[in-house]
Structure formats: structure tokens, C-alpha cells
């Protein structure tokens, strides 16, 4: 059924995506498939935007977009565009998101929110002002939409692990383990903002906050660059961001979380490992086995205790009623489909989706504190409690 657009015209929502590389492809796959599995408001994949005219034209045809463009400003100005999905590198997020929100477009933006705290704050203020006009925004922490992690959150909220005492979060990759791996924009501070810290530690930190519903009050951190020069297009170039990051987070509840992120962890391809330890139970998760959750119920007699493997593929599990018969696994790409589904439902309902820009800004404050602590040789950085998810 056609929805009434922000301009008052009864028609499907018009979607534009900005960026067609890794994240642009993942998001495009979600837009192309979400309506085949979930009941969502009618929308159209209107336009895919990128800087290279030939490449973005080819990508648009592959990914199901009706047309392509190279000027995001002209696309945002169009009356037939209601949603802007920002998959461009972080250094472009603030300018595009603020312009889109001010133009009355709903905005979905990839994490991290921005490359700097000042940009993230400006984006959040623009989102808050737009929300007052009925314009919604969301940051793309897609791992919240892994069914096993959504189940883990339910178990924690139900008290199945009791009082959480300790959380371990490690996001480990090895695509930079080879010291001859070439330079990319992700290894330059001016384009990436930070290295493993902003790229993948942001996911780990968001999961700590999401899973146990807590707030960070203190941070100690360390950053390290193991390979500080790499081959580039014009010879050897300096790497100006971190290869790995470590942080200890003090939480308002009294729990402690340890966070580790590395892009030089040889043998680890995309391992987001999460461990939650409470006084009544524990939870284990590894993204490299994303359909499984480990759960230990410590309220059972000792002779019956032990981690059990939950295959998270039942229709009763989050999101899975829309997919395959029980026991048929899903993959990483499904998290983006779930994300688009949730975003569309929030937009049509006039409700603020989560994670909000305020939640993304909260993660940004923590990332900034890790950098400050690392610069001060792992000094403790105190953080004020965050406001609620919508900044009320």
C-alpha cells in the first residue's frame, strides 16, 4: 500500500543510497530483499549515488536501483526522495546527514556516526531538530539485528544471568596482518578518523551498552600501530591511525567491561566475541558462528551446569519468523535486512528508531575518551552519564 510521503503525496517512499562500495552493496542488498520477507511500507529504490559515474551506473544496475547520480546534493533536493541511506566514508557523514535532515529526509547512516566528536554533536543536534518535525534518523549498528544477540539481550533483560558483573568484547580481524597490505583511506586519519578503534571497536562498545542496558562512567584505553608504513600509490606512505585498541570501561551498575579491537589478529577474519558474566548465568557469542549462542544457567544444580549451545533458528527467535524453516541458518547480510525493516517500520509509524544519533554520539564520546586516555598513557577518563536514547 502506498504511503503518504513527507510532501503529502500518496506514493511509495523514495529511497536514495549514497555510496556503492562495501557498505553500499550490503545496504543495497537489504533494500532489494526486505519486502520479499517482511511486511514493510511500500518504497522504491530510486537512486544510487557515487563519485565515479561509470562505476556507480554499473553498481545501480546490479543492485536494483532505478538510476544513478554523482551529485548527492541534487539528489537530496528532489521531491521524490524521502529516505537517504548514507554508506559513504565517515568523513562525509556529517555534511550529507545534516543537509538531508534539514531538507526533510529520513536518514540512515553507517557507523561510526562521524570522524570527530564535533561532527557527531552537530549531526545529533540536526537529528533532534528534525525529529521535532517528524523526520527520523538512525545509525547503522547492524549487529543489534543478529538474532542470537537480540536473544542475548532478551535473556539479560529477563534476569537469566542475574546481576551482570563482567563483560568481555573483542572484535578481531586480520586483513592488515600482512605488513605489505596496501594503504587505503581507512589507514589515514584525515579520511578514517581512527583505525580499529572507530571501525570495529565502535561495534563492540555499542554491543556492551545494548546487551546490558548500562552506561559508561569511566574509560582507560590504549592504542597501537604495529605497521606504521605501508605501500601506496605513490610509494611508501605513513599509516596515521591505530591497528589495535584496548579499553576498560567502568559501568554505572558497577560492572566492568573489557574491549579489544584488532585488524592484525592473524587468523581471525571477522570475530566479534562477546561474553557476559552474571551471578546467575553467563552468555557467549562469536560472530563467526552467528547462528549460535552459548548460555549457562548457574541456578541449576552444579552437576547439571555447563554451557549449552542454542541454535538460534527457531521462529520464536527474533526476526526469524520471516525466513526459512527451523534449523536453516542465516548470514551476516541478513542483519542489514533486519535493520532496514526496523527503520522503515519506525518511519511509517512516526516513531524514533534505535539506535538513534544520540546513541551513536554516546559511543563517540567513549571512543574519544579511549583516545584521550591513550594519549595520557592510559589515564582514567571520567564520563558524565548519557541522556536517554532520544536526548530528551
What are the Cα distances from residue 176, in Å, to 158, 242, 283, 343?
40, 11, 30, 33
Chain mean pLDDT for the chain: 95
**How confident is the model at residue 1, as a pLDDT?**
36
**How confident is the model at residue 248, as a pLDDT?**
98
Phi-psi sector, 364: left (phi>0), alpha (psi -120 to 50), beta: alpha
Give residue-wise pLDDT tens across range 87-116.
999 999 999 999 999 999 999 999 999 999
Domains within the chain, CATH numbers bracketed:
3-142 (3.40.50.720), 146-330+355-382 (3.30.360.10)
Q: How confident is the model at residue 4 (pLDDT cuts 50, 70, 90)?
A: low
- Kindly state the cell numbers that stand for 209: 551498552
Give residue-wise pLDDT tens across range 34-85.
999 999 999 999 999 999 999 999 999 999 999 999 999 999 999 999 999 9
pTM: 0.94
**How confident is the model at residue 5, as a pLDDT?**
52
Q: How confident is the model at residue 9 (pLDDT cuts 50, 70, 90)?
A: very low
Terminal Cα distance for the chain, rounded: 33
* 3-class secondary structure, 166: strand
Q: How confident is the model at residue 234 (pLDDT cuts 50, 70, 90)?
A: confident
**How confident is the model at residue 21, as a pLDDT?**
95
Beta strand 83-86 with 67-69 is unpaired
- Kindly state the cell numbers that stand for 82: 524521502
- What single-letter DSSP state applies at residue 199? I
Give residue-wise pLDDT tens across range 250-283.
999 999 999 999 999 999 999 999 999 999 999 9
Q: How confident is the model at residue 388 (pLDDT cuts 50, 70, 90)?
A: low
Look at residues 31, 26, 33 and name the one whose alpha carbon lies nearest to residue 47: 31
Percent of the chain with pLDDT over 70: 96
Amino acid at each position: 500500500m502506498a504511503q503518504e510521503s513527507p510532501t503529502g503525496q500518496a506514493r511509495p517512499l523514495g529511497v536514495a543510497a549514497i555510496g556503492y562500495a562495501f557498505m553500499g552493496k550490503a545496504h543495497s542488498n537489504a533494500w532489494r530483499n526486505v519486502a520479499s520477507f517482511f511486511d514493510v511500507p511500500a518504497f522504491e529504490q530510486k537512486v544510487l549515488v557515487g563519485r565515479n559515474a561509470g562505476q556507480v551506473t554499473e553498481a545501480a544496475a546490479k543492485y536494483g536501483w532505478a538510476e544513478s547520480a554523482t551529485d548527492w546534493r541534487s539528489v537530496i533536493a528532489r521531491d521524490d526522495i524521502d529516505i537517504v541511506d548514507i554508506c559513504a566514508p565517515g568523513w562525509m557523514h556529517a555534511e550529507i546527514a545534516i543537509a538531508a535532515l534539514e531538507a526533510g529526509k529520513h536518514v540512515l547512516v553507517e557507523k561510526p556516526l562521524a570522524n570527530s566528536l564535533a561532527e557527531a554533536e552537530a549531526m545529533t543536534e540536526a537529528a533532534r531538530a528534525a525529529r521535532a518535525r517528524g523526520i527520523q534518523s538512525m545509525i547503522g549498528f547492524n549487529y543489534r539485528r543478529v538474532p542470537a544477540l537480540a536473544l542475548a539481550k532478551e535473556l539479560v533483560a529477563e534476569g537469566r544471568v542475574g546481576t551482570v558483573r563482567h563483560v568481555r568484547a573483542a572484535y578481531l580481524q586480520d586483513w592488515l596482518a600482512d605488513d605489505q597490505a596496501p594503504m587505503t583511506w581507512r589507514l589515514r586519519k584525515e579520511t578514517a578518523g581512527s583505525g580499529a578503534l572507530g571501525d570495529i571497536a565502535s561495534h563492540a562498545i555499542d554491543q556492551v551498552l545494548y546487551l546490558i542496558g548500562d552506561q559508561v562512567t569511566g574509560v582507560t584505553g590504549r592504542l597501537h600501530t604495529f605497521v606504521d608504513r605501508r605501500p601506496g600509490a605513490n610509494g611508501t606512505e605513513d599509516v596515521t591511525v591505530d591497528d589495535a585498541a584496548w579499553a576498560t570501561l567502568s559501568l554505572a551498575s558497577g560492572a566492568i567491561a573489557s574491549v579489544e579491537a584488532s585488524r592484525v589478529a592473524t587468523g581471525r577474519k571477522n570475530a566479534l566475541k562477546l561474553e557476559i558474566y552474571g551471578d546467575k548465568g553467563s552468555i557467549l557469542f562469536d560472530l563467526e558462528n552467528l547462528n549460535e549462542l552459548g548460555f549457562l544457567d548457574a541456578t541449576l544444580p552444579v552437576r547439571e551446569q555447563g554451557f549449552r549451545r542454542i541454535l538460534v533458528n527457531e521462529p520464536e527467535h527474533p526476526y526469524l519468523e520471516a525466513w526459512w524453516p527451523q534449523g536453516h541458518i542465516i548470514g551476516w547480510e541478513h542483519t542489514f535486512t533486519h535493520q532496514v525493516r526496523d527503520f522503515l517500520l519506525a518511519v511509517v509509524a512516526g516513531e524514533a528508531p534505535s539506535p538513534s544519533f544520540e546513541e551513536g554520539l554516546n559511543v563517540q564520546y567513549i571512543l574519544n575518551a579511549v583516545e584521550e586516555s591513550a594519549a595520557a598513557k592510559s589515564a582514567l577518563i571520567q564520563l558524565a552519564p548519557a541522556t536517554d536514547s532520544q536526548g530528551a
